[in-house]
Structure 1
Amino acid sequence: MAVMDVRDDSKGWLVMWLEPLGEDRWLRPDENFRVRSDYNGDELAFSITFWVDDNDRSAGIENAAVWIEAGDCYAEVVDRAGNLIECGHQRPAEVDRRWQASLEEAQKRAADRKRAADRKGGGETVG
């Protein structure tokens, strides 16, 4: 089994992104999560990348992506007691509201573009 611990040593939130799935889990200061996979090969099972977003940093948020490099991309994330930690764990309500509003706006723009393309296409047939 491949295992990697992720610990928030900052004074604010650490968002751990599980990639390539794009799942988020939020760690409080001094909190520790364990990512584990059933992969037993010789290749590197996980890698980790950090990035800085000035808006996040000013809000006390750091970001780290745990990339599943080998094995099943559906790795488990557990806390110190072994409890399963799901996507969205501890995501602040304000962040959830902003993300939902952004999603709804993107869906509206996509629908508007589709309607415009349908009108522009009119009764033309492709043959």
Structure 2
Amino acid sequence: MRETVAVLDTVALLGYLDNTARGLGRSARRLFERARVGRVRLVVPTVCLFEVGQLEERGRISLTVAFERWCDLVAQAEPLLLLPLERAHVSEARSLPALRDPFDRLIAGTAVALGVPLVTPDARIATAERVAVIW
């Protein structure tokens, strides 16, 4: 079984699926390369799917397939593990009051609960206590 090494935030998930290195930091790029060859597994909190849906509704992003199909593709993608929101994730999210955005808090809380870093370019999250960040 592959080791789960990180949680992806929504920006990182979109970058991973687009297979784009544009804007990726060196550490994130190396992690994505390891994932693509099947050496590690990356967690996608289900809240990321909802955030993508909202971004699409507001016209901030455009998906190449219908949203429901896109969600199916994420769920089937190797080496991604779609992880439902759990009570421990919510508890950890509540312990991160410096993060005002509820999506950021839930995603970061998931990483903290799992004891793995969060892949994100978000500088606000990078300064939050208890959240290890890869980018």
TM class, shorter-length: under 0.3
Q: Greater helix share, 1 or 2?
A: 2
TM-score by length of 2: 0.24
Q: Greater strand share, 1 or 2?
A: 1
TM-score by length of 1: 0.25
Larger RCO: Structure 1 or Structure 2 (Cα < 8 Å, ≥ 6 residues apart)? 2
